[in-house]
Homo-oligomer: A and B are copies of this chain.
């Protein structure tokens, strides 16, 4: 018996370093999540979201709503539903909450009106739908999906898009639906700041956080189909019918079953100029980069070097995911097969 134990000890002592080396090597390739069958990543906007400035009761509200959205999406995916259904449902929940700059909580444009943009893309068919400058649509992401599935077009704008909505049985809501005190006050602050700085010559107006509060979701379903969607009220005090990256397929939203699904949030102008969402897909596709490396490169190098900021969420066909941002924080979360929702707001 003793000899056996001694032998075992010897073998163990000799083998241990090799075993540890083996563990180290195999774990190196697993920095990204291991291959999973389905999963969901969401965001509720990037900006100056800092722990020490966040009242605990507000933090709790965000956490609760993001968890609710993750679990609703998870239910669809675990039941075998499509990534498109999960993305739409999750975004509906965030649109219906006044906490986020989309749907109910949309910011006010300069003219005191809420103008909403959204887009969705199906990585399986490469089909897409985008809507811009909506003023009476409760859930822009659902209209974007309707454009994708029920029209011969991809991109519908303004009153025309709303006419399409009505013809397809969507009920218009009054502008009052979008009114929230916090967003109205944000506009008043922005207008005041603008008046005060009128004497200075500035190319870009003083930045206000309100430009970052987009919501979005990306998902991989059991059939291996990827989908991405994004919805926003845009930038507080935006003028001249401005649209950001959200209704621009390839900039704010992109999905391709062969690569990944991406939804962005940030200073839209920079995301359009760089075609951020498609750029990540192309870095993965054409350069063979991992999703994480591609996403990091675009946010921390390209967007930053051009002078922009923001973040994004992305998931690839193997269930690897990334959530980089170069702002102080980003409302974000993910849920995979194990059904455990993880919500984050600040830098890790």
Contact = CB atoms under 8 A, between A and B. Distances in A.
A119 B148 CA distance: 23
A116 to B, nearest CB: 13
Interface in A134-163: 151-161, 163
Contacts of A238: 153
Contact of A273 (B128, B133, B244): B128
Contacts of A152: 203-205, 269
Contacts of A285: 286
Contact of A286 (B153, B157, B283): B283
B242 A273 contact: no
Given A156-B241, A157-B243, A158-B157, A275 B249 contact: yes
B128 A240 contact: no
A331 interface: no
A271 to B, nearest CB: 9
Given A248-B248, A275-B249, A287-B286, A240 B160 contact: yes
A242 B36 CA distance: 39
Given A204-B152, A269-B152, A279-B282, A274 B157 contact: no
Interface string A257-274: 000000000001100111
B275 A241 contact: no
B154 A133 contact: no
Interface residues of A, number: 48
Report which residue of A238, A241, A242, A268 has the largest number of chain B beta carbons within 10 angstroms of its beta carbon. Answer: A241
A232 B240 CA distance: 20
Contact of A157 (B128, B241, B250, B278): B241
Interface string A194-209: 0000000001110000
Given A240-B163, A241-B157, A278-B275, A249 B251 contact: yes
Give the secondary structure class of A's interface: mixed
A157 B157 contact: yes
Given A152-B269, A154-B269, A248-B248, A164 B275 contact: no
A239 B164 contact: yes
Contact of A272 (B132, B154, B164): B154
Contact of A249 (B248, B282, B306): B248
A290 interface: no
Given A204-B152, A282-B286, A128 B161 contact: no
13 contacts: A126-B274, A126-B306, A133-B158, A152-B205, A154-B272, A155-B242, A155-B244, A160-B242, A164-B239, A249-B251, A279-B282, A282-B286, A286-B286
Q: Which 4 A-B pairs have the closest CB atoms?
A: A160-B241, A286-B286, A250-B275, A282-B282
Given A133-B157, A152-B205, A155-B244, 18 more contacts: A126-B274, A126-B306, A127-B273, A133-B160, A153-B240, A155-B243, A156-B241, A156-B242, A159-B241, A160-B239, A250-B251, A250-B278, A254-B275, A275-B275, A278-B279, A279-B282, A286-B287, A287-B287
